[in-house]
Amino acid sequence: MHNDKNLFGVAALFDTPDEIINAAKKVKSSGFKYYDVNTPYPLHGMDDAMGLKSSKMGYVTLFAGFAAAAFILFFMWWTIAISYPLVIGGKPFFALPAFVPITFEFTVLTAVLSTVFGMIAVVFNLPFNSHPLHDTNYMKKVSSDKYGLVIEAADELFEEDKAVSLLKDLGGKDIEKIYYPEKEEHKIFQPRFLVFLAVVAILTAGGTYVTLNKFMYLPPFDFMLNQNKGLAQAKSTFFYDEREMRTPVEGTVARHFIPYAYQSQADTTEVLADPLLPTQKILKLGQEKFLTFCSPCHGDYGDGNSRLMGQFPAGPTLHSDRVTGFSDGRIYNIITNGQNVMPSYARQITREQRWAIINYIRVLQRAQNPKPSDFTDIKEINKESGQNASN
């Protein structure tokens, strides 16, 4: 056993991939465990030649991925279903399909970062950046066009002379003894360094204070402070009534806005009429908005079968004689202003969408209470379809 404690190992260079693979096999068969091979690019078959086992990093990735998926699912479930439950469009508190993308992204991100940090901290032993092979002629050559093998002195079978002889017999060239670098101590808390830190801190703090509290209040940077503007509830020296807050001019409305003049629940049959034709496009729009905003309380078919499972008062059926007798204008007024526990949907649904919903409601009502002419029309349609098919 060698006596030089400062010796890291013995290294040798080889010219071809076949030579380095053969050398790795011979060193492994000689019983050495602490040795390494360095090549300018990966060599096929080197893992088998060195007898390397599969990397354990896959287990780190797998564990981190499963842990991340379990955590994010639990976090979203607890937040939405327990801590702050929300009913959105009648959906259940925890709708799993909606959280699959978030779970996938968080799982992949956590697994990848865990793998990277695991390799840096465990495999590469960082922040260890003073490896004995750094800045050696051996490392310069194997980073370019040579292939190298190092037998470390930490191996139980290592003897300096025998290791050199073995590498020579294997055809190794430029055999080099690698030593640990001498340790250099740099004291951080030296007087000069402490003075430097104090000067930097004073200049940084002083410069920041002067910039934010003095410099920014000088022209032209003070333009935001000196503005000809009025403050709410402040006294005005410009208007005759000394009020800074002004009442809008009577009769003015915002651009592109048509005010709704009917705020009561009175019947608006004579003044409001459906401006839309029940085309396929309009009915599809009405169905979409009905299922989004109306069906949670009134049911998917308007029969009062609420989808909120008792969490909110169920809406009445839209197929009663009373509701079917409502004019289109009255239903529009109810959607706009609300009625009883039903709030106004004027902010959520546009005017065109409200009329589209009314058209769709009429289709649902007609489907529940068809007229005899509807069956006649269906027979004629089927008859025409049969004739076209025969032609």
Please check whether residue 104 is in contact with residue 112, taking contact to mean a CB–CB distance below 8 angstroms: no
Question: So what's the pLDDT on residue 391?
Answer: 47
Residue type, 236: S
* pLDDT band at residue 357 using 50, 70 and 90 as cut-offs: very high
Question: So what's the pLDDT on residue 120?
Answer: 85
* pLDDT band at residue 3 using 50, 70 and 90 as cut-offs: very low
Question: So what's the pLDDT on residue 73?
Answer: 94
- Domain spanning 280-371 has what CATH number? 1.10.760.10
Question: So what's the pLDDT on residue 380?
Answer: 60
Question: So what's the pLDDT on residue 359?
Answer: 92
**Least confident interval from 2-11, 191-200, 314-323:** 2-11
CA distances from 208 to 64, 82, 216, 224 (A): 43, 46, 11, 20
pLDDT digits (tens, 9 = 90+) for 301-349: 888 888 776 677 777 888 888 888 888 888 888 888 888 888 888 888 8
Question: Which pTM does this prediction carry?
Answer: 0.43
* DSSP for residue 94: S
Q: Which of 216-230, 275-289, 294-308 has the highest mean pLDDT?
A: 275-289
How far apart are the C-alpha atoms of 62 and 274, rounded to whole Å? Answer: 60
Q: What is the mean pLDDT of residues 108-121?
A: 91
Predicted confidence (pLDDT) at residue 1 exceeds the cutoff of 60: no
Please check whether residue 173 is in contact with residue 29, taking contact to mean a CB–CB distance below 8 angstroms: no
pLDDT digits (tens, 9 = 90+) for 81-104: 888 887 777 778 888 888 999 999
Predicted confidence (pLDDT) at residue 376 exceeds the cutoff of 80: no
Domains in the chain: boundaries? 1-184, 280-371
Predicted confidence (pLDDT) at residue 379 exceeds the cutoff of 60: no
Question: So what's the pLDDT on residue 201?
Answer: 96
Q: In whole numbers, what is the pLDDT of the chain averaged over residues?
A: 85
How many Cβ atoms from other residues are within 10 Å of residue 61's Cβ? 16
* pLDDT band at residue 206 using 50, 70 and 90 as cut-offs: very high
Question: So what's the pLDDT on residue 29?
Answer: 92
How far apart are the C-alpha atoms of 328 and 334, rounded to whole Å? Answer: 10
pLDDT digits (tens, 9 = 90+) for 36-88: 999 999 999 999 999 888 888 889 999 999 999 999 999 999 988 888 887 77
Predicted confidence (pLDDT) at residue 11 exceeds the cutoff of 90: yes
Q: Which of 298, 328, 301, 332 is nearest to 316 (CA)?
A: 298
How far apart are the C-alpha atoms of 307 and 300, rounded to whole Å? Answer: 8
